[in-house]
Amino acid sequence: MKYHTLNCKYCLNDYLISTKDLASRKNKNLINSFCSRECRGKFQTKEHTVTKPCGHCSSLVTRRLKEYLGSKTGLVFCNSSCSAKYSNTHKTTGTRVSKLETWLASELSNLYPNLEIHYNRKDAIESELDIFIPSLKLAFELNGVFHYQPIYGQEKLEQTKMNDARKLACCINKNIMLHTIDTSNQKRFTEKSSIVFLNMVVKEIQSSL
């Protein structure tokens, strides 16, 4: 009888299964495989967890084993913000940049064609800055309503505030002047309503040149 080697989804040990039994599992659409009923039962309990570093910020995160093993990236994240930042950094298609940020990038490039300006990059402080001008040590963050109101709950808001504070501290350590621009009053993007934000950025650039 021919056997195949599989890996138990709970204890992570290899085990042998016959071709007949393997075919039976496939026919029953059993996605997860376990070396025993005991391992299957433990896998399905809510109590069993694993602790891993967050895939974005490296903070320790505790998740159910089932959730961890079901991750498409093989990673866990401490919150939706870290998950989104990881996805944005590693994405191959699409964009998460707002219309306001895209418009500002276009306008600033036209106004300062000889000035090196970075947009939505993480190389300065290992955390994304909306706008960063290396030669001037000048950075800008465009903070929408999610930075000020508990749209997704108080816990999410506190996490966002902590990330903002951490980003500011990193800029201070790097001698980067970080300006935070509150864009929460802009309910939807229009060029007319965005000019005020462009003027704020231009004013600081002109003062630093």
Q: Report residue 76 as tokens.
A: 């866990």
DSSP, collapsed to helix, strand or coil, labels residue 39 as: helix
Predicted pLDDT of residue 95 = 41
Give the tens place of pLDDT for each residue, 142-154: 998 889 888 778 8
Predicted pLDDT of residue 190 = 92
pTM for the model stands at: 0.54
Nearest to 108 by CA among 16, 4, 200: 200
Low-confidence residues of the chain: pLDDT under 50: 29, 31, 46, 91-95
Contact (CB, 8 A) for 150 and 156: yes
99-208, which class in CATH? alpha beta
Domain extents for the chain? 1-44, 48-92, 99-208
Give the tens place of pLDDT for each residue, 3-39: 778 888 777 788 887 877 777 665 554 545 778 878 7
